Each structure stands twice: as structure tokens, then as C-alpha cells.
Amino acid sequence: MIDAEELADAAAEVVDCMRVLAKGGSSLVLEAIGGRDFVQLDHYPPGDVIDPETHGQMYFHAHPPSPARQADFGHFHCFFRREGLAGAAPLDHPGNPTDRPTAHVIAVSMDAHGRPTALFTTNRWVTDETLVPAEALIAALPRFAIDLAHPSWPVNRWITALVTLYRAEIADLLRARDSVLAAGPADLPEDRAVEVLSHRPMDLEAKLAEVRRLVGLHG
């Protein structure tokens, strides 16, 4: 359970990172791309951002346009390296390899203006992860952080704060992901026709207003 003060701090950080980038004529998406040519499916930055202390990992990329992705200019993928989930056994599923270095936590859709539009979880094959049970990932969520200055301190701080701000929603999406996998066929994790297992639109302004109300109640 996250307290009101932690939510308020995360909300302020999310807003400040977006504000300071906009003030300089940039955005989260432009910062993530880092002045490189934007090539669909390439990772930005190359090699991803990996925090060796928290074992958090993330990158930004985009898929080719499709009717299903009209609002998704690109998205951030967030992971834990397996060493950041010590003691967490892989999800018990016949389609789940146990030797991959990462476990996917959440993806954050962005529009072309650099604003977040949705949260979603992915099928196993999408990021070639080892699936870890939702409850193990949820227990680790308070530790998720990209506490690095390189390659973009505002982006790293923003994604860290966003995961905190939306911790409850991410937990719901991870549980929904596991329910879909449990109800599906054994080969679902490798089904190339299924990319997304759970999805939730984001309304950042509404979320910020919710936090302000919560802080007011506890003030």
C-alpha cells in the first residue's frame, strides 16, 4: 500500500520532469530518442538503460503503424533484471523459459507530443522475457528505479516516478496478465497474434487531481 505523501512526491516529480523538458522545447519522447534517427523497433538508447544497483531496465521504441496503435507513437518498456528479483521463481507455465535475463514489468504508451496515454503488459515473446508471477513483481515495484544521470536524467526520473504514481494500476494489470495466461492455451506465451495481455488508458490530469484530493484528505 502506497501512502499519500509518496504519491504526492511521485506526482510532483512526473510533472516537473515534463515541465522542464517542455520549457527547453523538448519532450520525453525526444529525450528518449536522443537526437538519433528514429527507426521503428530499434531500442532507444541502444543497449537500453540498466541500473546496476536497482536492477531496473528500460528502453523506448515504436512499432510500425497499425489501426490498433493509432494513439501509440511509441512506448517505454520497463523491466527488472532477474538479479533484482532474487528468490522469485518463474511463473509456472509450460510456455515460459526460465533462463532469460529480464522480467517485464509494464509498458507506457506515449503520444507524439511526449505525453503518456496508456499502460499495458505484453505477451512473453514480445520482449523475450522470463515470466515472473504478478505477486512477485508487485512486491518488487517499490524498488523499481532508474537512478542514473545517463542518457537522460529527466526521462530516468520520470519513468521511476511514474511507476510509483501508478503502482496500484500496474499491480492490477499484472494480475490481469496472469489471469489471461492461466486461462489461455499452453502455447499462448509464444502466440505471435497476441502482443498485449492487459491494457489500461491513462488520464494523467485525472490522476494528478486524484492525488491532490487524497493529500487534502490526509493533510
Band the pLDDT of 64: cuts 50, 70, 90.
confident
Residue 65: what pLDDT? 67
Band the pLDDT of 217: cuts 50, 70, 90.
confident
Selected residue with higher pLDDT from 125 and 64: 125
Band the pLDDT of 63: cuts 50, 70, 90.
confident
Q: Do the beta carbons of residue 79 and residue 121 sit within 8 Å?
A: no
Domain ranges in the chain?
4-218
pLDDT surpasses 80 at 66: no
pLDDT surpasses 70 at 67: no
What value does the mean pLDDT take over residues 101-124? Answer: 96
Element at 78 (helix H, strand E): strand 74-81
pLDDT surpasses 80 at 68: no
How far apart, in whole angstroms, are the C-alpha atoms of residue 34 and residue 45?
Answer: 8
pLDDT surpasses 90 at 84: yes
- The C-alpha cell at 203 is 488520464
Q: Which residues contact 84 (CB under 8 A, 6 or more apart)?
A: 54, 55, 56, 140, 143
User: Residue-wise over 144-155: b if at least 16 C-beta within 10 A, else e?
Assistant: bbbebeeebebb
- What percent of the chain lies above the pLDDT cut of 70? 96
CB count within 10 Å of CB 61 equals 19
Selected residue with higher pLDDT from 4 and 161: 161
Selected residue with higher pLDDT from 112 and 27: 27
pLDDT surpasses 80 at 1: no
pTM above 0.75, yes or no: yes
How far apart, in whole angstroms, are the C-alpha atoms of residue 114 and residue 31?
Answer: 9
User: Residue-wise over 109-130: b if at least 16 C-beta within 10 A, else e?
Assistant: bbeeebbbbbbbbbbbebeebb
How far apart, in whole angstroms, are the C-alpha atoms of residue 140 and residue 157?
Answer: 18
- The C-alpha cell at 119 is 499502460
Residue 219: what pLDDT? 56
134-184 pLDDT, tens digit per residue, is 999 999 999 999 999 999 999 999 999 999 999 999 999 999 999 999 999
How far apart, in whole angstroms, are the C-alpha atoms of residue 150 and residue 170?
Answer: 26
Element at 146 (helix H, strand E): none
State the chain's mean pLDDT as an integer. Answer: 94
pLDDT surpasses 70 at 104: yes
191-204 pLDDT, tens digit per residue, is 999 999 999 999 99
Q: Do the beta carbons of residue 21 and residue 154 sit within 8 Å?
A: yes
Number of H helices, E strands in the chain: 7, 6
Q: Do the beta carbons of residue 181 and residue 93 sit within 8 Å?
A: yes
Q: Which residues contact 35 (CB under 8 A, 6 or more apart)?
A: none
